[in-house]
Amino acid sequence: MSSYEARFKVWRGDEQGGGLEDFTVEVNDGEVVLDIVHRLQATQAPDLAVRWNCKAGKCGSCSAEINGRPRLMCMTRMSVFDRAETITVTPLRTFPVIRDLVTDVGFNYRKAREVPAFVPPAGLGAGEYRMMQEDVDRSQEFRKCIECFLCQDTCHVVRDHEENKTAFAGPRFLMRIAELDMHPLDAAAETGLDRGRTAQDEHGLGYCNITKCCTEVCPEGIKITDNALIPMKERAVDRKYDPLVWLGSKIRRRSS
């Protein structure tokens, strides 16, 4: 086992402002960035604010920007950096800073509330649901999301455009709409709710110009753009220009 001293720059401050603070800190074999931040807390900066929870890449709490790239601190191994390199850790840029590395991610919780919930099918009781594995695969992929909000952070539609936040749900919640739309038993259509159309009309799908930044930063490897956003866009276009496709999709839906 070998340890060394690494140089870190960590953003410290609050909504009033702040800046990068320099640290030199011990790093041991096998450690991740979150370990180093914890060592800073324990030895040099006890009030350094950081959000974390599971430390195993499962809860999506410790999102930050490491050398400018949105990442989970618990899943970023120190061994990916050169030992001479200074590592810069800053809070997620898209959301307002509360303190140090902690940001106000309330935007995401507000957007979550705007997506209508799963509609259980009428006439099917608990225990009577039958779904084939191949029909749930795609929605299951989207449900792997750990809500780290890295995709929301990196998406250029809102990253430097505060004004778009009202109209745009962001990749995570557009994907949530896709998940429900592809759920084999969701009965939203029967209640008059066209999830695909609301994605376009109410949740800002049209703002997305499929640069795939969200897919690139997803720690779960979910193909957000290819599997969720593009299919919804295609159907939005189909619906708009081709009444037969629109009708066909309705008929297929009912008989499935």
Partner 1 sequence: MSVVDRQEWDVVVVGAGGAGLRAAIEARERGARTAVICKSLFGKAHTVMAEGGIAAAMANANEHDNWQVHFRDTMRGGKFLNQWRMAELHAQEAPDRVWELETWGALFDRTKDGRISQRNFGGHEYPRLAHVGDRTGLELIRTLQQKIVALQQEDFKETGDYESRLKVFQECTVTRVLKDTASEGGSAAGRVSGVFAYERETGRFFVLEAPAVVIATGGIGKSFKVTSNSWEYTGDGHALALLAGAPLLNMEFVQFHPTGMVWPPSVKGILVTESVRGDGGVLRNSEGKRFMFDYIPDVFKEKYAESEEEADRWYEDPENNRRPPELLPRDEVARAINAEVKAGRGSPHGGVFLDVSTRMPAEVIRRRLPSMYHQFKELADVDITAEAMEVGPTCHYVMGGIAVDSDTAAARGVPGLFAAGEVAGGMHGSNRLGGNSLSDLLVFGRRAGWHAAEYAQGVTYQRPPVDDAQVNAAAAEALRPFSAEADREGEAGPPENPYTLHQELQQTMNDLVGIIRREGEMEQALRKLAELRVRARRAGVEGHRQFNPGWHLALDLRNMLLVSECVARAALERTESRGGHTREDHPTMDRKWRNVNLLCTLADPTGGLAATDSGRGQIRLARESTAPIRPDLLALFEKEELVKYLAEEELYE
Q: Which residues would be at the binding site for partner 1 (CB under 8 A)?
A: 14, 28-32, 35, 41-43, 46-61, 75, 77, 98-100, 102, 105, 109, 112-113, 116-118, 120, 126-127, 129-133, 136, 139-140, 143-147, 180, 183, 186
Q: How far apart are alpha carbons 175 and 111 in whole angstroms?
A: 12
Select 183 or 203, whichever has its Cβ closest to partner 1.
Answer: 183
Question: Quick one: 133 or 209, whose CB is closer to partner 1?
Answer: 133
Task: Tell me if residue 43 falls in helix, strand or coil.
Answer: helix
Please state the closest distance from residue 72 (CB atom) to partner 1, in A: 10
Tell me, what amino acid is at 119? V
In the numeric block, which tokens belong to residue 203? 């949740």
Q: How far apart are CA 130 and CA 90, in angstroms?
A: 47
CB of 139 to partner 1, least distance (A): 6
Please list the residues that pair with 25 across neighbouring strands. Answer: 6
C-alpha span between 109 and 45 (Å, rounded) = 30
Closest CA to 43 of 93, 79, 8: 8
Shorter beta-carbon distance to partner 1: residue 66 or 136: 136
Q: How far is it, in rounded angstroms, from Cα 145 to Cα 123?
A: 30
Q: CB of residue 165 vs partner 1: minimum separation in angstroms?
A: 18
Q: How many CB atoms lie within 10 A of CB 90?
A: 19
Minimal distance, residue 240 CB to partner 1, in Å: 28
Cβ nearer to partner 1, comparing 215 with 233: 215
In the complex, what is the shortest distance from the CB of residue 236 to partner 1, in angstroms, rounded to a whole number? 23
User: For residues 24 and 86, what is the distance between their CA atoms, to the nearest angstrom?
Assistant: 9
Closest CB to partner 1 among residues 99, 239? 99
CB 223 within 8 A of CB 142: no
124 versus 247: smaller Cβ distance to partner 1? 124
Among residues 198, 200, 192, the alpha carbon closest in space to that of 119 is found at 192
Tell the smallest beta-carbon distance from residue 81 to partner 1 (Å): 15
